[in-house]
Chains A and B, each alone.
Chain A
Amino acid sequence: MANAKSKEQVINPIGASFTRNDVYEKVTGTAIYTDDFQFGNKLLYARAKRSPYPHALIKRIDTSKAEALPGVKVVVTGKDFPNRIGLYLQDKTIFATDRVRFIGEPVAAVAATSEEVAMKAIELIEVEYEELEAVFDAEFGASDKAPLIHPDLDKYICPNFIFPKAHTNIANHFKIRKGDVASAWEKCAYIVERSFKIPHIQHVPIETHVAVAQMDEKGKVTVWASSQSPFAQRNLIAHALHISQSDLRVIAPMVGGGFGSKAGVTMEAVPVALATKCKGWPIKFILTREEEFYTNFVRQGLTIHVKVGCDKEGNLLALKNMMYWDGGASTEYGTNVTRAGGYSSSGPYDIPNVETDSICVYTNHPIGGAYRGFGMSELHTGLDQAIDELAEKAGIDKVTFLKKNGVSEGDVLVTGMIMHKNGIQECIDNVAKSLKMGEKEKPSSPDRLRGKGIAIMWKAPAMPPNPGSSAWVEMSEDGNVTVGLGGQEIGQGTFTVMAQMAAAALGVPYEKVRIAGPVDTQYSPYEWQTVASRLTWSMGNAVVLAAKDARRQILETVAEAWKESTEDLDIINGVVVSYKSERETSLENIVIYGMPKENNEGWTGGPIVGRGSFMPKYVTNLDAETGQGPRAVVHYTVGCEGLDIEIDKNTGTIYVLKGAASFDVGKAINPALVKAQVEGGFAQGLSSAMFEEIKLVKGVMTNPSFVDYRIATAPDMDFPLDTPFVEVPQDDGPWGARGVGEHPMVPTIAALGNAIYDAIGIRLFNPPYSAEKIYLAMLDKGLVK
């Protein structure tokens, strides 16, 4: 029963580093991921027939031999699924119909009783192509010399903030025209003009994409998928198949890493298409690692031309940005990456005059999708390195230069939006201090050169103006709380953080809160997508509202039973207390059965169900010609990273001595999880900076496996990493929190590029900064013999 001790919350759940609530299952091997569901011996295995050409017309498809193969249950092709889908620009079909646009595009699929039979069947499908001239370069693709990849672009549906150009390969052209750039150059004492080419990279979740689909005899479809977007998938796939959203159920268990790749719809539609022609059978489609590399969403490549100038004192005056995004064969998602790159194109710098053209171009490369911090790593790679050079040119210490020009509250941003309070100054100070920036230190051996680099970043959740979140809170007889939500646990720890928030908002200990998983669109409340670092803030707000709603119901029940006012009541540590009468009651039982009123007047209350929903309502559209509008985004998260490195003169190998990363998270609901996100993001950023590149030769990915697409391993990450965070609260965030999931990988390439420059005096314009590139650059410059 309740006692005095209960009046103090044992641990305030906000700001406490609780261990994750999914971790026991994960360390014992009992956590269920999509491929772990058991479907029995009726399970069919799907494989896709894929285009071997980057750009070709489909003249003929003959599936008869495949259909005749024993064990094959169904073969489907594009002709049965002509509807176009896409998250932003509806330019994609589940299978190629009349033409293929990249190597690996599915043209047909089979479901068979075993993977081996499915593989054989794929080989038996005959497809006749007529090859077309292809586009492998975004700048060329944007020119009028390029062949058209989507001749019907003018007929595609898209929201009013995407601007495709009919009869070109330009799927979106986002413009910023702020101030007067042309005349600002004259006032600049120093100008730097640079071009960078940032390659396509892959997300590389250790769990590849997998989805299982089953249609029942009445036409209801269930999909089990490794997904960041069960609700978006429900919507998009239902649309593609002409079925109602409520006839499509997506069940999304634990996800073995996403990083954006499992947002929107990619391969999930393939087993669903098969299932519609093979009622009653569960059909599993799992990508091989190789398919994961070359057929799925990639981080699109970027060519960026930056020109930036400042006055004598180092105040930034003007920026001109030309960005050509290699959107690939479909830009359904990439158009919004381009937009994000555009409206954030000044980076976290206060620059009065900005001109940006952010152009999304169709090419015959893999499809660009969302990748952790989309648009931002690419943009900052160019911008932050150009600014590094500008600071040097102006003869100003880099830290001073960043602090002088970093955005502060009240600044008019590139879009005309007014900047909110933020902690960029503290972030810069943290990194500068941690790495002793400005202090030249000796390398550890004469065979090595040492350098330090720093870069700042910002990022806003990149999404439509109105993505919604919702949540419910229920309780059981034991007083435990279950939170229903639709955002996905993809490793970032969101289930833990949501439990902490619900606990705090309700007044119960963290241990009493469970999350209703797996997310299932049939029962779980709606959530737009698990992307954009938006859950802590957006879903968090919904969960808090739901918890508060439940709390209100509890207090009203008790108030009525005790004939007191809710104002005098509180819930502390799972116990309702009255400050007035000093009565107490635990939540057990009353949250289900209600309470008897006094004097035998009957009952009050009943099962408690709190509900909450949240949707930002203040984001406005931007002018198509100038990119100006009152509020482009919900908010920005800012931060800073730096690296202290050595370079081996004999091989060009980078040895990181120390890293530092500091982000303004508003409020760290769970500090250990924040730090873990920053560490992981930093490592992913550094991995992309040193190793990663989808090597495309005439549309063919030449390194589609771990053998030649290297990512960072434990020995590569063998250095101390300092991750102090800053907490300048977000006005509409729960307890002031804002997201930080994506941000840690945004400035890393630039920070490394700046460190390399500091070490060897050479600027490299084409990441990844492999040992080979560094060595050959040193050789060309005569630094080594």
Chain B
Amino acid sequence: MINPHPGLPELQYVKPATLQEASKFLADNAGVAKPYSGGTDSFVRLRDGVLKLDYLVDIKGLEGTKELSFDPQKGLTIGAAVTMNQVASHPDVLKHYPNLAEAAASVASYQLRNRATIVGNICNASPAGDTIGTCMLLDGVLKVHGVDGVREVPLNSFFLAPGRTVLKPGDVVIAVHLPVPPKGLVGTYKKLGRNRIGDLSIVGVAVLGYPTNESASGYRFRIALASVAPVPFESFKAEGVLSGKKITSELIDEAAVATMDSVTPIDDVRGSARYRKQMVKNLTREALTEVWTKLSK
């Protein structure tokens, strides 16, 4: 039985002026202080009582957190305070990373996306995080400020378990950085919720593909899944299927089945394991077909 607070429980709002100050405060108050950006995950958990804190540390004013910029040589930098809507409507994102815009726009509602951030989505490390898979497939790297200074953490080694990451007390993610996308990249995000839009995903499938002469098929495809594994999951098995042979609709079917076979989702209130597996297959096939159609044009 849950008995959430009517509002937020008692806590102190802390707004550090510098990254150093933030990291120090967070490290000194390990366990009772956490950084937050949009708060859309933190507040809900605080209200529910599953997260108990004395301090909420607002990182939105810190250096680098508001940055949203694209450099043709280096790629895209998304500061920790940049909202989903800012990402989804940014011309450079729409041009170079349309699949990320699509994933960001699939989150919750317009007004929530004015608070919710990509970095928050990543740090929250929910298996259902809609933008995580796409950031992973785009080889995202987090820029983290800790008590010992700044370090970089690639997303593929960031997640430990649902809600758990490699971040330590004192760590503040400044931004997520996505390198310049491979030439000819096409990507998409397919999300299935209970409502037509706006729900958490029962299954989410991020797919991207681009031409390359490193594989026999002439293309590289990457597939990441939401809500079907404890952590955001990339199906290397299915990707392998698509690298060896000429791409045909049969091969896409085979890859979709391989994707399905690579996960063992659970039953929960949002959907059964059986349905989830089926949907992984069908959405992967749909996403791959769409990407392939565009690539082969």
Contacts and interface: CB of A to CB of B under 8 A. Distances in A.
A775 B278 contact: yes
Contact of A700 (B1, B9, B197, B202): B1
A704 to B, nearest CB: 7
Interface stretch (A415-423, A520-528, A712-720): A712-720
Contact of A708 (B4, B197, B269, B283): B269
A119 interface: yes
Q: Which of B10, B192, B202, B278 has the most CB of A within 10 A?
A: B278
Interface string A695-711: 10000101110011010
Given A50-B3, A775-B275, A650 B282 contact: yes
A266 interface: no
A700 B10 CA distance: 28
Contact of A52 (B1, B10, B195, B282): B1
A368 interface: no
Interface in B1-29: 1-7, 9-10
A651 B192 contact: yes
Contact of A715 (B10, B194, B198, B270): B198
Nearest to B7: A115
Interface string B17-50: 0000000000000000000000000000000000
A40 B9 CA distance: 22
Interface string B251-278: 0000000000000000001111011001
Nearest to A697: B269
B290 interface: no
Contact of A691 (B194, B278, B283): B194
B200 interface: yes
A119 B9 contact: yes
A715 B9 contact: no
Contacts of A700: 1
A779 B194 contact: no
B10 A116 contact: yes
B139 interface: no
A700 B283 CA distance: 33
Given A715-B196, A715-B198, A103 B6 contact: no
Contact of A116 (B9, B272, B286): B9
B1 A710 contact: no
B113 to A, nearest CB: 15
B226 interface: no
B174 interface: no
Interface in A630-650: 650
B6 A286 contact: yes
B198 A651 contact: no
Given A103-B1, A290-B4, A775-B278, A710 B199 contact: yes
A776 interface: yes
Contact of B274 (A718, A770, A776): A776
A116 to B, nearest CB: 5
Interface in B151-201: 192, 194-200
Contacts of B3: 50, 122, 288, 290-291
A628 B172 CA distance: 74
B279 interface: yes
Nearest to B197: A715
B275 A707 contact: no
A771 interface: yes
A710 B282 contact: no
A103 B279 CA distance: 34
Given A119-B9, A708-B270, A710-B199, A290 B192 contact: no
A710 B194 contact: yes
Q: Which of B4, B200, B271 has the most CB of A within 10 A?
A: B4
A67 to B, nearest CB: 20
A651 B279 contact: yes
Interface string B218-232: 000000000000000
Contacts of B274: 776
Given A650-B282, A710-B195, A104 B4 contact: no
Contacts of A115: 5-7
A286 B202 CA distance: 32
Contact of A707 (B192, B200, B271, B282): B200
Contact of A702 (B6, B196, B200, B269): B269
Contacts of A651: 192, 279, 282-283
Contact of A695 (B1, B269, B278): B269
Given A116-B9, A116-B10, A772 B2 contact: no
Contacts of A713: 195-198
A45 B7 CA distance: 12
A196 to B, nearest CB: 21
Contacts of B198: 713, 715
Interface in B197-250: 197-200, 202
A776 B6 contact: no
Interface string B49-83: 00000000000000000000000000000000000
A123 B197 CA distance: 38
B284 to A, nearest CB: 11
A650 B278 CA distance: 9
Contacts of B197: 713, 715
A650 B286 contact: yes
Nearest to B285: A650
Nearest to A768: B194
A704 B4 CA distance: 11
A378 B278 CA distance: 31
Nearest to A687: B195
Contacts of B6: 45, 47, 115, 119, 286, 288
Given A650-B286, A776-B275, A691 B5 contact: no
Contact of B195 (A47, A288, A294, A712): A712
Interface string A103-133: 1100000000001100100100000000000
Contacts of B202: 772
Contacts of A103: 1
Contacts of A704: 2
B134 to A, nearest CB: 21
A557 B7 CA distance: 59
18 contacts: A47-B6, A50-B1, A52-B1, A115-B5, A115-B7, A288-B3, A288-B4, A291-B3, A651-B192, A651-B279, A651-B282, A651-B283, A715-B195, A716-B196, A772-B202, A772-B275, A775-B278, A776-B275
The 8 tightest CB contacts between A and B, nearest first, are A715-B196, A650-B282, A772-B275, A708-B269, A710-B194, A115-B6, A52-B1, A703-B269
Given A710-B195, A713-B198, A779-B278, 10 more contacts: A47-B6, A104-B1, A294-B1, A651-B282, A653-B192, A707-B200, A715-B195, A715-B197, A716-B196, A772-B202
